[in-house]
Chain A
Amino acid sequence: MNEVGINKITRRDFLQKGLVFGAGAAGLAAGYAAVPDVFARAVYGAKRDGVMNDRVLVMIQLAGGADGLQTVIPLQDSRLRTLRPRLSAAADQALPMNAQLGLNRNLRGIKALWDQGKVAVVNGVGYPRPSFSHFDSIRVWETGDPTRRQVEGWLGKTIAKNYDSQGHPLVGCACGTTSVPGALRDLEATLTVVNGQSSFRFSSADAERAMGAIYNGTPGIYGALFDTAVYTARDTVARLRTAREAYVPKAQYSDNARLVYSSRNQLGAALQLAAELIISGAGAKILHVTLGGWDTHDQQLARHDSLMAYLDQAVTAFHADLGAYGMADRVLVATWSEFGRRPQETANGGTDHGTASSMLLVGDTVKGGVYGQMPSLTALDRTGNLAYTVDFRSVYQEILASHLKVDAREVLDQSFERTPFIA
């Protein structure tokens, strides 16, 4: 009866159901011994020679499907006016990058970094046979696999292949959230999730001690998951205790930008936490933050613009903070979203789910400029959407190979034409 009713659990099930966090605990104490000093600059437990560098990656997920055409705006295309009688007003106030393209009017800080050659824009990023489902498309981007065969997240896989995350659980960390994003999942990667800096402490010493004692060798299918979560919590609490003393923000992080709908995202706070983890030398290598609210089926002109301001403030403060600590040359910030939006606007002044979009990459290691062909607004596909010009995995490849300097093919399973935005 049970044989029929409830399946035996396979390794694949564990990944698909998110029962991850690398449970193999053997030899971990040795990994710890390799960290002599949490304040040492860039101490990572590298599994391999050659990946012991000080580079850090911060991925910002724009959840909900962020419109590309109101982010990186075609300035000269009359077709945009036809498709978007109202939304094309964004072109009038755009901040010109060149004769053809402008950044959203609210990306003022990022535009200033663009002027310094620290911003790359990749246009037309997408993948073949696009999905219009948020969740399906998020999974494609998270796993780096449009065929939907992979279950590991591309960042999790990068961590598992290259870094000793079990000895150093902050190597991969999601900031400002309570759960592990799919991109970071891998059975063999240990990850930390820190919702908020100030709340990340045990309210009673007795509870802290008891949790440490109880969550060890917990039975059951969730046992390793529980134990690892509690272990990383205790470890991170201890590290943040010291980090607080080593870090004072040197930029103004503000979460006060006005949004049409109030946002649940504290992007500024999340990036400030990321900065703290990087600057204090806590061993952070790959960080993930999320800003939601981009599913603009209505009132897109105002909603998208207000989110742009929010993004701009947070990213600019983050970059300035790192710069003040002399670390802006180590950290790459990249935005991603599950899809762009349809070129044709709807009656509510919004847009439906679309396909290709533009990605922003910010950091001192970036070779500033425009990459990728902006898709044609006249040759839309059968669903009325943009035809992608750059495979998103080509962007991943550049991040992995040129910024983090790891073997990209091992993560992506194939090679792509280079999008050379890293200097």
Chain B
Amino acid sequence: MAARTPSAGGPTRRSVLITALVTFAGVATARVLGVRDLSTGFTLRPRSAPAMDPMDDAMDMAMDMPESEVIPAEMAPEPMATASAPPLQAAATASPAPVRATTPTRTPAPTARPTSTPAAVAAMPPIAPPRVSGFDWASPLESEKARVAHLLRRATFGATDAELDAAQADGYARTVERLVETPPAEPQAPAAIAADANARIGIGDLQAWWTDWMLRSPTPFAEKMTLFWHGHFVSDYRKSQTNPMYWQNRTWRQFSLGKLADMLHRVTIDQAMLRYLDLATSTGRNPNENYARELMEIFTMGAGTFSEDDVKAGAKALAGWRLPRATESVRTGVFDPSRAYAGTLTFLGKTGTFDTTSVIDRVLAQDVTAAYIARQVAEHFISPFVADAYVARIAARFRSSGYQTRTLMREVFLSPEFTSPDAYRALVKGPTEFMVSAAKAIGSASLGRAIAAAGTGLGQNLFDPPSVGGWGDNAAWVSASTMLARANFVSTALGATRTLPPSTSAVARHLDGVLGPETARELATTSDDRRRWLVILSSPEFQLK
């Protein structure tokens, strides 16, 4: 392929915005104070480079601050490199508009930037394309408070004010212990199932039952893990039906932090899974390859780590399960020896007779398995760019613990990489995470059904992953369609919430006080709580975790 020049000024991790909290008129907001070049440590570059323009723009929102308060980038002292630095005390009075610049060093803003007046909207098209930043977020994670907020964004679904206060009082290490050691709280059955265990539950009711519990559960980490496994050990309600998906959800929660071998056994004989990947119809005589293939390719080992002969042998070895009959009280598959394969097989390099347990043991004996699972977890919870060496390190601990998922998760949360600057805002919140975290931020616990209903538009319809590979992540969540749907969800959520918490502390609580220039500028234009919440929840900062 012919080499092509990378896009000019494309996003890199080479430089970060440096922001700090500013308080004026009782409204906390953030100011961009400079940039930091990551490739040269904390050295600040001169502001003459074209790439520095965004910072110049940001100076627009310096408001009426005395010039002495504005710290030009080239003069900013190193400690200012974090947003967790003590808020600057600004002498400014509230004068949200017109915004004017006060810095003598300011240069004209670049062209082709959309103006923000309603008249400009009416005049569309043309809409000017966005300019490119080239800067990265300044990590505030040296601060323990910021680390705790970071942990709750990733290990749970963001936090209510009360949850955040409690966790920050506990500190980082104790919060990790509490998250991984507290047994999952079990949700009550949905009304229909509570009345009659065999009543058919509708998909909308099933989704709302879960999103509601995400909002209210005292152990939201268990819900995050249940969602993770839902996207990993995939079934969908279309093929598997809603009631089996309901029971599967309860099983995933129950086994979410236990031993992988137990989880895999339950996954294999789960009713929804038996239907979804056709193991229920596979027999030793007429094996169906679907489950055996995906067990290795998607669930445990990864593509290219096994042969087609392993698929065929695995299919025979796993055959024998059927769905429970209405007269049987069990909710898992039932093993029928007459459907199984009795002969000798060669599976993953070992010859002998196999059953489901020995197939799972054989999979867990492969060196690739721990690394495959560990990479899934690390990319999901830390960064899409985790290094092989890091994965190998946590995989070794995972395997030596006997594949205890709890151990793996503790290892991830306590590893320095989890709170390193490179991990800060390195992940895009998934649709459900985004919506639940927004509802929690505004203290609205009654949005479960709205969240469930909006899932499809944002790209994540619960109990309905797009394929056996589950949902995408990060960039896959971002498109014209989904960003529009996210903005519209914010309007729905705010419209449905009569009393909003004051927005004053929201930037510090939910965005660590680390704001990009345009978000900061937009927040500075209004002191109205409802409009500020609209900006906060719609902002790129809030889409990230």
Q: Which residues of A contact B (CB under 8 A)?
A: 1-2, 4-9, 11, 13-14, 17-20, 22-26, 28-29, 32-33, 35, 38, 63-64, 131-136, 149-150, 166-167, 169, 174, 177-180, 187-188, 190, 192-195, 199-239, 261-264, 292, 295, 297-298, 346-348, 350, 352-353, 383, 413
Contacts and interface: CB of A to CB of B under 8 A. Distances in A.
A347 B239 CA distance: 18
Contact of B308 (A5, A132, A297): A132
Interface residues of B, number: 114
A232 to B, nearest CB: 4
B326 interface: no
A398 to B, nearest CB: 22
Given A18-B475, A207-B491, A214-B519, A178 B457 contact: yes
Instruction: Label chain A's interface by main secondary structure.
Output: loop
Given A264-B238, A292-B467, A178 B474 contact: no
A228 B416 contact: no
Nearest to B111: A29
Interface stretch (B151-159, B175-183, B246-254, B278-286): B278-286
Interface string B10-36: 111100110000000000000000000
A233 B283 CA distance: 50
Contacts of A132: 293, 308, 311
Interface stretch (B346-354, B355-363, B369-377, B536-544): B536-544
A214 B133 contact: no
Contacts of A17: 384-385, 474-475
Contacts of B112: 25, 28-29
A187 B282 CA distance: 44
A35 B9 CA distance: 26
Contacts of B428: 222
Given A1-B416, A5-B390, A134 B290 contact: no
Interface stretch (B122-130, B213-221, B403-411, B498-506): B122-130
A183 to B, nearest CB: 14
A186 B238 CA distance: 33
B477 interface: yes
B288 A350 contact: yes
A209 B540 contact: no
Nearest to B124: A238
Contacts of B290: 295, 297, 352
B204 interface: no
Contacts of A201: 484
B541 to A, nearest CB: 9
Given A188-B4, A233-B484, A205 B121 contact: yes
Given A205-B118, A216-B518, A217-B130, A179 B477 contact: yes
Interface string B50-92: 0000100100000000000000000000000000000000000
A23 B487 contact: no
A231 B127 contact: yes
Nearest to B113: A216
Contacts of A180: 476, 479
B544 to A, nearest CB: 7
B512 interface: no
Given A205-B118, A218-B133, 17 more contacts: A2-B416, A6-B385, A6-B426, A18-B472, A135-B303, A179-B482, A193-B481, A207-B534, A209-B116, A222-B474, A223-B516, A224-B7, A227-B130, A237-B484, A238-B125, A297-B277, A346-B288
Contacts of A216: 113-114, 130-131, 518
Contacts of A193: 479-482
Contacts of B1: 149-150, 413
Interface of B: 1, 4, 6-13, 16-17, 54, 57, 111-114, 116-118, 120-121, 124-133, 135-137, 238-239, 277-278, 281-283, 285-286, 288-290, 293, 297, 303-304, 308, 311, 382-387, 389-390, 415-417, 420-423, 425-426, 428, 456-459, 461, 464, 466-469, 472, 474-485, 487-488, 490-492, 516-519, 521-522, 531, 534-535, 538-540, 543-544
Contacts of B461: 264
20 contacts: A1-B416, A7-B387, A28-B112, A63-B467, A64-B467, A167-B129, A178-B482, A187-B10, A188-B4, A207-B488, A212-B120, A214-B518, A217-B131, A219-B137, A220-B11, A223-B516, A224-B7, A227-B132, A264-B238, A297-B277
Nearest to B520: A214
A113 to B, nearest CB: 30
A225 B475 contact: yes
Contact of A25 (B130, B288, B519): B130
A233 to B, nearest CB: 4
A192 B479 CA distance: 7
Given A219-B17, A229-B483, A234-B127, A18 B474 contact: yes
A233 B132 contact: no
A222 B387 contact: no
Contacts of B120: 212
Contact of A217 (B6, B132, B415): B132
Given A29-B112, A206-B534, A210-B535, A9 B16 contact: no
Contact of A212 (B121, B288, B387): B121
Nearest to B423: A6
Closest 5 CB pairs of A and B: A347-B286, A5-B417, A24-B7, A18-B475, A227-B130
Contacts of A4: 387, 389-390
Contacts of A207: 487-488, 490-491, 534, 538
A264 B464 contact: yes
A245 to B, nearest CB: 15
B245 to A, nearest CB: 14
A133 B290 CA distance: 10
A6 B420 contact: yes
Contact of B121 (A29, A209, A292): A209
B227 to A, nearest CB: 18
A202 B486 CA distance: 10
Contacts of A347: 281, 283, 285-286, 288
Contacts of A292: 466-467
Contacts of A221: 11-13, 136, 426
A155 B405 CA distance: 41
Nearest to A133: B303
B303 A136 contact: yes
A208 B121 contact: yes
Contact of A6 (B422, B459, B531, B534): B422
Contact of B478 (A212, A225, A237, A264): A225
